Amino acid sequence: MKEHDESYYEFKEIKENPIIINFAGLKHWEIYPLLKEKFGLPECCGHNTSALWDFLWDAFCGGGEYKVEIYGYRSLKGELKEYCGEILKVFDDLREEKPNVTFEIIS
């Protein structure tokens, strides 16, 4: 088993508000690294919707008002749109539990 230093498990500062998520031009494997960066998620966060839900719930536990603007979703096609649609369901569920976070699909 690989040993990791503490930074592997640490949340990072969210650097923008609104948080801009742009799916346009992304490949499947680029999505979770982008989400980790934008939401300040630790490296140990898995690349699946269950892990995303758990870590986002923790990330927005401390309060503060956040807005997330989503771009490029409406232009996605096929499997990639379905894949990102599952992520949007996580965002919608999170919005119900964390009223301090809003999500808006811009394009």
pLDDT tens, residue by residue, 68-97: 999 999 999 999 999 999 999 999 999 998
Q: Which of 89, 43, 38 is nearest to 60 (CA)?
A: 38
Render 23-66 in DSSP notation, one character per residue.
-TT--GGGHHHHHHHHHT--TT--SSHHHHHHHHHHHTTT---E
According to the model, what pLDDT value does residue 1 have? 45
The residue ranges of the chain whose pLDDT is under 50 are 1
Q: Which of 78, 79, 81 is nearest to 23 (CA)?
A: 81
According to the model, what pLDDT value does residue 2 have? 61
